[in-house]
A and B are shown apart, each in its own frame.
Chain A
Amino acid sequence: MDIVVCVKRVPLTEEVDLVIDAQKKGVKKDQLAFVLNDWDNYAIEEAILLKEKHGGTVTAITVGNEDDEEVLRRCLAMGADRAIRVEAGDMSRFDSFGIVKILSQVVKDLPYDLVFTGVLADDDSYGMVGMMMAEELNLNHSSMVTAIELEDGKVRTTSELEGGLGEVSVVDLPALITIQTGINEPRYVSILGIRKAAKKELKVMDLAELGVSDGELAPRAIIEEVYLPPETEGAQILTGDPDKIAGDLVEILTKKGVME
């Protein structure tokens, strides 16, 4: 079972005031901390679990700059066999379609039975790279998957629908699957583990090597402008020390009739 997993490094945005860049096309990223996209963490874990059970290889791929290698090293430390980074220069010139073209160009020459992506990237929240790639590579697919079982030449998946409903399907291999959070419990990675994994192969490729030109990657969707959310009335903020706040809260709860 050879599995390719597409992973992305994304900024943490909790408790930060995001600042819009001068062109109003994105946010300033130089002050932000980055992590492996949550969905991709589950995807790489799932690939490694399948490998541990059925043998084979796991390859992690990212399209990004040198700093993004950090998440590939993390994948290697978790148990991936090798990693590939595509150096694509200024990423802001691509839309998802461009990323899909690049990823597909790498994946098509690799041996694989399964390709995993996350359902969603935490930064842009597009949720489209996975299924676009399935179509681009003409692969069978299943999306938003919360359980995977291998059967002879097939894979049985549970896709998450709304309201807690699951949809069980059988998909012929090879296939592309988008992984939803909660499918497993991603393992812990230590600094030492990451250091040890430095010996594993991390290959860097560029667009020329892949034979894709900027012309083919021209975006179809263009971000015109990004902006902070429009002001709403919002919550009434309770202020003071915890004692005062707790007192006010008790009053509100009493008024709303839930203190009995």
Chain B
Amino acid sequence: MSDIFVIVEHRLGEIRDITFEMLWKAGELAENLSHSVSAVLLGHEVSSIAEDLSDRADQIIIYDDERLKNFSADLYKEIIAGLIEETKPPLILIGSTSWGMELAPCLSIKTGLPLATDCIDILSENGRFIAQRQMYNGKIFANVSFAETSGCLFTIRSGVFPKDKIGDRQAQKIQKGFPLIDIKPGKTFVEFVETAAGDVDITQAELLVSVGRGIGEEENIALIKELAEALNGVVSCSRPIVDKNWLPKYLQVGTSGKSVTPKVYIAIGISGAFQHMAGTNGAGTIIAVNKDPKAPIFRTAHYGIVDDLFKIVPVLKDKVLEAKKG
């Protein structure tokens, strides 16, 4: 029986959802392939984290050391590479998160194992693993296989698998010693910094009118503000609008912005990249205005308008004002 490894991601004492999602998928694969599931946990004073994982893996391999207090791709890489060398797992899952995106490629080069990033599913065919992933902003899907090797690395997109427990597992905890005495990481953690809060909190809004790169020019944002005002809603936006400094960061929806839970989310000139849509999972109804009928947002939105936003938005604003008067 060989192990599927899941690298546990945790931050400030809390297990991150991606860890549960990867353990779910690992559990499902393990059941079909009669593998076992190993959670690999690096950190300092992590016994309560290990406890929370104990019914989701068959083994928890724990490296608990002062030097692992903060995430360090350098230390993780060395330790996990050593563990891979020793145990040769056929499949290693890492979160496609900021930390995972730093760790996984380094680990791939260090171990010589192939890597597929940002996978949305893992298929198994005749004992080989195949990655399903997206390209071209979600407009194309691809299946990726690997050259013959002892194992392969996958980074897994957040939110594609359930967070639930799968199967009955009782983890055996295996404490490992910190294996490297003389490695000095090239990067030193200083501090975490939060995005400055603003005068509105988009996470509390009932109605969001959200603007994306399709708006074209900074001055056109006025159109969106007027519509939001007519609707008594709040303006939010996609990342490029913040990158261009057209709106402040605290209005950004998505993985690197905020997760929102409005009754209605109106997305205008937003293509629907998963990093954006991840922030809208809690929205009741999503309405999308986009002139590209193939825009990925139409796959997840409830209502769609395939048209030029400059034709729709002003008319909609007038209709809203009219309706509110009458």
A contact residues vs B (CB 8 Å cutoff): 11, 13-18, 20, 27, 95-97, 100, 119, 122-132, 134-136, 139-144, 156, 158-172, 175, 181-182, 185, 218-230, 232, 234-238, 242-243, 245-247, 249-250, 252-254, 256-260
Contacts and interface: CB of A to CB of B under 8 A. Distances in A.
Contacts of A230: 141
Contacts of B319: 243, 246-247, 249-250
Nearest to A157: B187
Interface of B: 11, 73, 77, 96-99, 101-106, 108-110, 113-118, 130-131, 133-147, 149, 158, 186-195, 206-207, 231-233, 239-240, 242-245, 249-250, 252, 255-259, 263-264, 271, 284-288, 291-292, 294-307, 311-312, 315-316, 318-320, 323-324
Contact of A15 (B134, B142, B193, B291): B291
Contact of B303 (A27, A164, A236): A236
Pick the 3 closest A-B CB pairs, nearest first: A140-B186, A235-B304, A182-B243
Contacts of A170: 187-188, 190
25 contacts: A14-B295, A18-B136, A125-B117, A125-B133, A128-B101, A128-B108, A131-B103, A135-B106, A141-B102, A141-B106, A160-B98, A161-B256, A163-B256, A163-B257, A165-B192, A167-B191, A226-B135, A229-B296, A235-B300, A235-B301, A242-B316, A243-B319, A245-B305, A249-B316, A259-B320
A220 B114 contact: yes
Contacts of A100: 109
A163 B285 contact: no
A132 B105 contact: yes
B142 A160 contact: no
Contacts of A222: 144-147
Given A14-B271, A221-B116, A123 B301 contact: no
Given A126-B117, A135-B105, 15 more contacts: A27-B140, A127-B117, A156-B190, A160-B98, A161-B99, A162-B256, A164-B256, A164-B257, A165-B194, A185-B244, A218-B147, A221-B144, A227-B140, A235-B303, A242-B312
A250 B315 CA distance: 11
A202 to B, nearest CB: 28
Contacts of B318: 246
Contacts of A172: 186-187
A41 to B, nearest CB: 11
Contact of B115 (A119, A128, A159): A128
B185 to A, nearest CB: 8
